[in-house]
Homo-oligomer: A and B are copies of this chain.
Amino acid sequence: MSTRLIESFANAPKYAELFSDASLLQAMLDFEAALAQAESSAGVIPASAAEAIAKSAKAKDFDVEELASRGLRAGTLSIPLVKALTERLRAVDKESARFVHWGATSQDVSDTAMVLLLRRARVALAEDAARLQAALRRASDEHANTVMLGRTLLQAGPPITLGLKIAGWFGELRRSWARLDEDLGDVAILQFGGAVGTLASLGDKALPVATGLAKQLGLALPAGPWHAHRDRLAAVVCSCGIYAGALAKMAKDVSLLMQSEVGELFEPGGDGRGGSSTMPQKRNPIACALALGAGNRVPGYVASFLSGMPQEHERGIGGLQAEAATIARTIEDTGLALVSMSEVAEGFSVDDGRMKRNIASTRGMIFAERAMMKIGAQLGRDSAHTLIEQAVRRAEQQGVSLGEALNALPQVTAILSAQEIHELADPGSYLGAAEAFRKRLLASEE
């Protein structure tokens, strides 16, 4: 299993798999095999050595426990892994054993392995992001005309459509995913610099080997080694922070809409989800809770990563050793939030009757601005404001609707008919540019 129980709510199986021991080891061994291949092609080491190394570079043959324990002493997994690989080779081909890891440094292996794991993470995330976006687009279209309360500072306001609300989530999620996707693309580069980033031990074969190695691994060749320049990884971590924040925003809204007292929209239940051990009637917003939890943790990882950027000279101390766990956890938490909200987007249920009742229960108060502007157009905004305040106060005191209160004010009835006053409280005709904005958000390539 890839996740400890204590971290159950920090990981979804699909994402935990990405950074499993087997994945990591194989990525490191893939680097060693590709390096040998590139060096053989450049005439630096014999072809037979490259073949032998490739043959021995199988993760399943290595002892994870021992690597972990030696890695902790060495401050890097690369040293014990290279040693173990060399020993394996020595047993079968002493000559080839000499050429393992030729010219590379520990961080070349660990950084490139991380890059390879992030490439797989990108595929996994892209899949779920596409699912989420498709589901939200469908739901927004479906609910283009579903009218509900707008809410600001947790107070009821004029109406919006559920379609617009969903399109707002969609817009932010699309932009944030595009950003993360691009950053994951930018980090798909080779790390290869040798001891201090000059590849001095390879002499004039340095660039040919680097070029070949990058090609072998399907990675781009950066302008130079980046052992102590972590901006591209920082960008990935930050963009996860933004994406997780956008997912948490959606989760926050859904969880608020699921409140017993609101009851307008629900994440899907079923299959062990959302029950309570003591309250059989409850339907808890668990997917949202997981996404909100992830959204709580990721900003801390971002701060840690950024704090660790000032790494000393050609290879740092502390900042560097702190990174791998932080990156993995950032991707995992982001992935958990993403699958959780994809599940929500694909399966939520809407209670549009409740939406209407919730609008009705404001007794027209949310249309005060509308009334004010309507009256203001004739009486002036000032007088209108005073009149409306009067009406609102009366409606609250008497428990009547704003419309009834307005009907009781002669200055109002002098300019508005009963029908006009009645229509002030029709939510469907007070949606402004909601549909235009909704379409723009779904269409926009911004």
**B288 close to A318 (CB less than 8 A):** yes
In the complex, A314→B149 CA distance in Å?
Answer: 10
Q: Determine which of B203, B224, B289, B443 lies in contact with A318 in the assembled complex, contact meaning CB atoms within 8 Å.
A: B289
**A286 close to B75 (CB less than 8 A):** yes
**A321 close to B380 (CB less than 8 A):** no
Besides A5-B67, A245-B306, 17 new A-B residue pairs in contact (Cβ under 8 A), listed by A number: A1-B64, A5-B24, A6-B21, A6-B324, A72-B290, A151-B312, A152-B282, A152-B314, A153-B289, A154-B285, A168-B228, A179-B231, A241-B302, A261-B262, A281-B392, A293-B318, A299-B303
Please report which residues of chain A, range 284-304, place their CB below 8 angstroms from some CB of chain B when the two chains form the complex: 284-286, 288-304
Interface residue A47 (Cβ < 8 Å from any Cβ of B): no
Interface residue A41 (Cβ < 8 Å from any Cβ of B): no
Interface residue A137 (Cβ < 8 Å from any Cβ of B): no
- The chain B residue with its CB closest to the CB of A321 is B293
In the complex, A196→B227 CA distance in Å?
Answer: 35
Interface residue A345 (Cβ < 8 Å from any Cβ of B): no
**B249 close to A229 (CB less than 8 A):** yes
Q: In the assembled complex, which residues on chain B have CB atoms less than 8 Å from the CB atom of A153?
A: 75, 255, 282, 284-286, 289, 312, 315-317
Interface residue A78 (Cβ < 8 Å from any Cβ of B): yes
In the complex, A306→B405 CA distance in Å?
Answer: 44
Q: In the assembled complex, which residues on chain B have CB atoms less than 8 Å from the CB atom of A370?
A: 200-201
**Chain A contact residues (Cβ within 8 angstroms of B): what range?**
35 or more
Q: In the assembled complex, which residues on chain B have CB atoms less than 8 Å from the CB atom of A358?
A: 261
Interface residue A31 (Cβ < 8 Å from any Cβ of B): no
Interface stretch of the complex, out of A123-131, A271-279, A407-415: A271-279
- The chain B residue with its CB closest to the CB of A301 is B300
Given contacts A272-B73, A279-B195, contact A310 B248 (CB under 8 A): yes
Q: Of A103, A248, A308, which is in contact with the most chain B CB atoms at under 10 Å from its CB? A: A308
Q: Determine which of B252, B279, B307 lies in contact with A299 in the assembled complex, contact meaning CB atoms within 8 Å.
A: B307
User: Does more than half of chain A's interface fall in helix, strand or loop, or is it mixed?
Assistant: helix
Given contacts A197-B168, A256-B312, contact A296 B278 (CB under 8 A): no
Given contacts A68-B3, A167-B224, A179-B235, contact A105 B278 (CB under 8 A): yes
Interface residue A4 (Cβ < 8 Å from any Cβ of B): yes
**A437 close to B197 (CB less than 8 A):** yes
Given contacts A242-B234, A441-B223, contact A362 B260 (CB under 8 A): yes
Interface residue A238 (Cβ < 8 Å from any Cβ of B): yes
Interface residue A212 (Cβ < 8 Å from any Cβ of B): no
Q: In the assembled complex, which residues on chain B have CB atoms less than 8 Å from the CB atom of A272?
A: 70, 73-74, 79-80
Q: In the assembled complex, which residues on chain B have CB atoms less than 8 Å from the CB atom of A224?
A: 164, 167-168, 171, 437-438, 440-441
In the complex, A10→B437 CA distance in Å?
Answer: 33
**A231 close to B245 (CB less than 8 A):** yes
Interface residue A43 (Cβ < 8 Å from any Cβ of B): no
